[in-house]
Amino acid sequence: MSGRDYAALFLSFALLLLFVRAPRRELRSEGLSLLRSLFPAWRFFEEIAEIPVLSHRVIAQDAAPGPWRCTLHAPARSAGMLFLYAAGNLHLAQQSLVEHLLALRQEQPGGDDLSSTTSYRLVQALVLQQIRNEHPEVTGQYQFRLCERGQPDDVPPLLLSQSHTL
């Protein structure tokens, strides 16, 4: 490689570094969000962020609210997970729903009602499915919350849902 080639390589790298350092502006567009796979950002595990934990409780009829239970349970690793790992990818997609809801909450910290948003309703469907798996015949109401992993119980949750009817 000649000196000009090294200069070109260095300049390309410098431009890329400037591009990565440049401030980013989030585009708030539902349409673009659905098509974001067409615009890869190529940023993975960049910053330490809160990891939300989804939990739920059942409020049976004429009874006190039950204990909070963790909603998502990570599947075990398996020998074939390199090839097919449907349970693992489903778990990751479910966790992604939870993170989207938390991001929505953080964008609207004023306590706006999120119950009509798609993110909330998907997490609600996730919780309801888990409750039906655990207690197929239970009636009453249920509630879910997002907490930071390892957060003590006396700290207010990141998000507390309203009570919904089973």
Partner 1 sequence: MTSPLFTWLSATERLTAFALLLQSVEWLQARAALSDSGVWQFALLAPEQRALPPPLRQLCAWLLPYRPFVVLLALRCAACALVLVWGHGALWPFLCLSQILVCIRFRGASNGGSDALSVVLSSALCVPALWGRTPLAAQAALLYIGVQVTLSYVIAGLAKLRQPDWRTGQALCHFILSSSLGPPALLVRLASRPHLVRLAAWGVMAFECLFPLAWLSEPICLLFLACGACFHAANVWVFGLNRFFWAWLAGYPAVLSCCQLSAVLYAR
Residue 27 interacting with partner 1 (CB under 8 A): no
3-state secondary structure of 91: helix
3-state secondary structure of 104: helix
> Among 50, 90, 68, which Cα is nearest to 144's?
68
* Rounded Cα distance, 55 and 15, in Å: 45
Name the residue nearer to partner 1 (CB basis): 70 or 160.
70
E strands, the chain, are 52-60, 69-70, 140-148, 159-160, 164-165
> Among 45, 48, 101, 54, which Cα is nearest to 73's?
54
Among 91, 135, 140, 157, binds partner 1 (CB under 8 A): 91
Among 54, 58, 59, 126, binds partner 1 (CB under 8 A): 126
Count of residues near partner 1 by CB under 8 A? 59
Residue range at the interface with partner 1 (CB under 8 A); choices 57-65, 68-76, 139-147, 157-165: 68-76
Whole-number minimum distance, CB 44 to partner 1, in Å?
5
Chain contacts with partner 1 (rule: CB under 8 A): 1, 5, 9, 12-13, 16-17, 19-21, 29-31, 33-48, 51, 72, 74-75, 77, 81-97, 100, 118, 121-122, 125-126, 129, 149
